[in-house]
Chain A
Amino acid sequence: MPDQPSRRGFLKGGLAAGAAIATATTAARAADDPAITEIQDWNRYAGPGVDAEPYGVPSPYEAHVVRRNVPWLTADPISSVNFTPLHELDGIITPNGLCFERHHAGIAEIDPAQHRLMINGMVDTPLVFTMADLMRFPRENHVYFLECAANSGMEWRGAQLNGCQYTHGMVHCVMYTGVKLRHLLEEAGIRAGAAWVMPEGADASAMSRSLPLEKALDDCLVAFKMNGEALRPGQGYPLRLVVPGWEGNLWVKWLRRLEIGDKPWQLREETSKYTDLLANGKARRFTWEMDVKSVITNPSPQAPVIHGRGRLVLAGLAWSGGGRISRVDVSIDGGRNWTTARLDGPSLPKALHRFYHAFDWDGSDLFLQSRAIDENGFVQPTKNALRAVRGENSIYHNNGIQTWHVAKDGVVENVEIS
């Protein structure tokens, strides 16, 4: 356990942090702490009762932990994206209210009693299911990350946005409850020659994509719950498609229809969008799988180092559409030297993985990087390696290594380095 702090070191660090928060001064041998010596209101007066919050909300002291958007990115917030505050979260599960959203015509507000799922096309019996019908199929629970193909897409031409919420926040990870897409398709009876499925949403963009039947029959789910409760409206309530490991645009929300066919439909979101333009003017299409990727979430530009030199804990996330993460290396000198970080928590295929690395900071400039390796042996490349092959116009599938510069005063910035 190379990462385990000594008990003495841990106590010292804890005291220092407590003093820093209480007095906003450096960790000296502090005067008596009024947080301890004075009786606090919450220690004297009774608080709100059990009827105060029928649906619980976070502490008011956590009010800054919210999704944010970047107004200049898109023409209109109705067809836009907001970002998960990764730097405020830990573990591998994203709270439902903080899961990033990308809508193409706003949030469809659907009465589940009026929601239908149709299966048509190359099937023996075109079918219609109600939500109640779907609940009667065998249910499964799986934890998966969902990453937008455009996550980090603003960084192709160089360091642009200052915060991992913006550079990497188009990813979230929840436990889905749903039924196997395979069960639904087989209920209708797939005809010979079928090779593609077109999931379609009920929203005002009627979001639709072509999905290979092989993937549909493999591990896709039709989900109605996330983290145990009904999907949030912004996540497709009452029904969404789950396409593990593949780009978020395929995870059609407000799912109302599945058409089976023998060829892809070449829809707008797989031709005009979600195709990756290369330097030579050709574009890759059907780039579904999300590549191996990681980012240090703390410290990061929105979460600077406030405690001065001494024990410093790096925390981060890693994921791969190819399966599990087998290793994450971190560098504090801009990729000159690497140390293997400690993975902690469940290691689930196609889910976020949490890593930590602790060391004693000497107060000098740091160039923090993380590099993930997945179970198939794919190593997260540098941004420059990706640019060398693809150019800078790809928009999508930027899984390059992120660099944070930590200055001597603890301020963190998104940078590109030599």
Chain B
Amino acid sequence: MSRFPRLAAALALLLLPATAFAGDVDAGEKVFAKCKACHAVGDGAKIRVGPHLNDLFGRIAGTADGFRYSPAMVKAGEDGLIWNDETLAAYLTAPRAFIKGNRMAFAGLKKDAEIDDILAYLATFSQSGNDDAASAEPAPADTPDTPNEDTAIAEAQPKADEPDDAVVEADAAAEPPAHGVFHLGRPATEAEIAAWDIDIRPDGAGLPVGSGTVLEGETVYTEQCAVCHGDFGEAIGRWPVLAGGYDTLTRERPVKTIGSYWPYLSTVYDYVRRAMPFGNARSLSDDDVYALTAYVLYLNDIVTDEAFELNQDNLATIRLPNEDGFIADDRHEEPHYAAGAEPCMNDCKPGKAEIAQHAAVLDVTPEGDGDEDGTGGGID
């Protein structure tokens, strides 16, 4: 006994009070751009990643000639799922929820108007009688959104699922597909994940078991880091400065260090472990990285005890001074981006343009000898 006709009827009852399926064919063609990678429609449409969609309305689910459907989709058809406005609308809203285990990768259309439009468009490729589809064809061009319908579909989903044991049974009875939609790739092993998953978050997620002291860190630092970063984190040449720079962020030449600028200590552990020392990454032990991180705290006067030990339990509890120094991206609220500002075209500024600054005078543009030195404002 099929459950789908009842589901369709239930949906139809919910949907009918609204001006259902007054979709716009032209708009639907645009929405169909989201589907075209996998589905063909129209003259000569062939099977692609998904089945062709000619004569979709009235088609029993899972029956397009030549397409290898998921067991779940075949079962849905056997259980009586026939594609029409109601069933397609429900399917396109949440493909994976509507038929669990089916292979369509598409996440679903969020807007009901888009679903109406695409159904109107697809209906133009269906010969077989579908009253709803036929009535959708002469739809008005400007279909207003129908909030009632939104609510109806949103509510219909869970309600429809409840009495619909057959769907659940079909899912359980079907061969459980391998992972995913395309069944490509293979499961990663635990050892593989452990080998690559080295990232650390501010809350301490990902920290390995281990520890290291400031004194131990000094030894590693002197051997491995000081050549670029300097004995006290002051940096050699243009290598990054690691320490100091407090109260410089508003100055003309801010010194952005771990102590003065970085918001989270976890970033130090993560970065040193993944990328340092430069040119010999992944060569430090987890304990060495704890020790170096502790030493960098010491260089920045955030800890003062040489015996201080950093470990997986206390790293996330240490706060860096500039944690609160960051704000969200609000560029679009800047006055020069004020909405609707039409730019000036004529007589926009008084007087003739006068040169205020010459790049040529600085003479820092490379000419081949590489002797130039910039005045700052470089990338880093």
Min C-beta distance of B371 to chain A, whole Å: 9
User: Are A69 and B366 neighbours in the complex by a CB distance under 8 Å?
Assistant: yes
> Interface residue count for B (Cβ, 8 Å)?
94
For the complex, give the distance between the alpha carbons of A405 and B179 in Å.
61
B105 within 8 A of A: yes
- Closest chain B residue to A127, Cβ basis: B185
For the complex, give the distance between the alpha carbons of A389 and B271 in Å.
32
- Closest chain B residue to A257, Cβ basis: B196
- Closest chain A residue to B333, Cβ basis: A389
Residues on B with beta carbons closer than 8 Å to the beta carbon of A126: 187-188, 193
Q: Return the CB mask of A141-152 against B: 1 if under 8 Å, else 0.
A: 000000010100
Min C-beta distance of A288 to chain B, whole Å: 7
Min C-beta distance of A67 to chain B, whole Å: 12
For the complex, give the distance between the alpha carbons of A204 and B274 in Å.
8
Which one, A4-12, A329-337, A353-361, is touching chain B? A329-337
User: Are B197 and A120 neighbours in the complex by a CB distance under 8 Å?
Assistant: yes
Q: Which of A153, A272, A371 contacts B377 (CB 8 A)?
A: A153
For the complex, give the distance between the alpha carbons of A337 and B350 in Å.
11
For the complex, give the distance between the alpha carbons of A187 and B331 in Å.
35
How would you classify the secondary structure of chain B's contact residues: helix, strand, loop or mixed? Answer: loop
Residues on B with beta carbons closer than 8 Å to the beta carbon of A156: 377
User: Are A284 and B329 neighbours in the complex by a CB distance under 8 Å?
Assistant: yes
Residues on B with beta carbons closer than 8 Å to the beta carbon of A89: none
- Closest chain A residue to B369, Cβ basis: A71
User: Are B364 and A138 neighbours in the complex by a CB distance under 8 Å?
Assistant: no
> Interface residue count for A (Cβ, 8 Å)?
115
- Closest chain A residue to B49, Cβ basis: A138
Min C-beta distance of A147 to chain B, whole Å: 13
Q: Which of B337, B339, B356, B370 contacts A416 (CB 8 A)?
A: B356
Residues on A with beta carbons closer than 8 Å to the beta carbon of B337: 378-379, 381
B281 within 8 A of A: yes
User: Are A183 and B179 neighbours in the complex by a CB distance under 8 Å?
Assistant: no
A200 within 8 A of B: yes
In chain A, positions 59-84 with a C-beta closer than 8 Å to chain B are 68-76, 78-79, 81
Min C-beta distance of A11 to chain B, whole Å: 32
For the complex, give the distance between the alpha carbons of A204 and B266 in Å.
20
User: Are B107 and A186 neighbours in the complex by a CB distance under 8 Å?
Assistant: yes
Min C-beta distance of B30 to chain A, whole Å: 14
Q: Return the CB mask of A349-378 against B: 1 if under 8 Å, else 0.
A: 000000000000000000100010100011
In chain B, positions 63-88 with a C-beta closer than 8 Å to chain A are none
Min C-beta distance of A333 to chain B, whole Å: 6
Which one, B9-17, B210-218, B340-348, is touching chain A? B340-348
Which one, A35-43, A44-52, A226-234, A274-282, is touching chain B? A274-282
User: Are A71 and B38 neighbours in the complex by a CB distance under 8 Å?
Assistant: no
For the complex, give the distance between the alpha carbons of A198 and B199 in Å.
9
Residues on A with beta carbons closer than 8 Å to the beta carbon of B327: 282-285
- Contacts A72-B370, A337-B347 known; 10 new A-B pairs at CB < 8 A: A105-B279, A105-B281, A118-B192, A129-B184, A130-B185, A186-B105, A205-B274, A291-B331, A336-B349, A338-B348
